[in-house]
Structure 1
Amino acid sequence: MPLASLMGYRDETFKNLYYNDIKINEDNVYHIGGRDIDPGEKNFIENTNMNMFYPKDLKEKGLDSVIDNILNNLNNKNINAIYIGFDLDFIDSKYVPRTGTRVENGFTVNESKYLLKKLVESGLVKSMDLVELNPILDVDDTTSNIAMDIIDTVL
């Protein structure tokens, strides 16, 4: 988990890259919708102050409630710039069959676009990447087209 290094855990080389200190405060990390989390990652998450929103949290509380909670927390911390790392496998594998990691019980394309749009509309998003597309497997461009649709939504 490269994020762990940026938060000051694991490899000292990455922790002290560019300057000697952590790069991201763990309590400023909001991990939304993770489903296929291995035991080591789960243990790590449980022993940090990361803000974890599992799929059941999103389903029970609703996307709007979770988004509002996150934006209120960021506002209370006077954070004015955020980065989004969006994994396409956040979306259910029946919609995006050609990702690096196929996982069932994810979110719909529309739910994903809604979540990202709300975050972008907050004015806080300054940088974003979209990952987990495997173009070698995406012979019919299904997943690529969804990725482009998501990019179009946030721009």
Structure 2
Amino acid sequence: MPSKRGKLECENMPVAQHITRKASICKSSKHGLGLFAEEFVPANSFVVEYTGELITDKEAERRGNFYEMNKLSYLFNAVFQHSDCLYSIDSFFMGNKSRFINHSVSNANLKSKILVSHGNVKIVFYSLRDIYKGEEFLFDYQFTDTQKKKHGIID
């Protein structure tokens, strides 16, 4: 049976080697722009890392107010396992194409994971099921009802 350390090293391998699935930003039928698979992605596969600037909860609140006024937001909130502090990753200025992954509860095909490796925190996406070329990548933002109402999210 592999140790937890071995499993973590295996999970981190695609991230460490910067291996991502081929994807493109295209017009989404429901969400403006979205990120779409350019190749078949098997279930439980690493898809992409969510990149950006690591900021504190206080700074995320400040930026979030500005983004909301302008109907933009690329903040990903995360509670890190080894800390009581709440942090966010802001991909507005320094992000990659993963910031175009849209929300869906009923059609989510990705799950997010927080990985900590050598003191670095990474948010990564894995496929929940087989994803076919041309499908939009979607995941559940796990918003509260108040947040859904605030952002006009139905699904």
Q: Which has the higher strand share?
A: 2
Which structure's relative contact order is higher, taking Cα pairs within 8 Å and 6+ residues apart? 2
Could you say which TM-score interval applies, normalised by the shorter chain? under 0.3
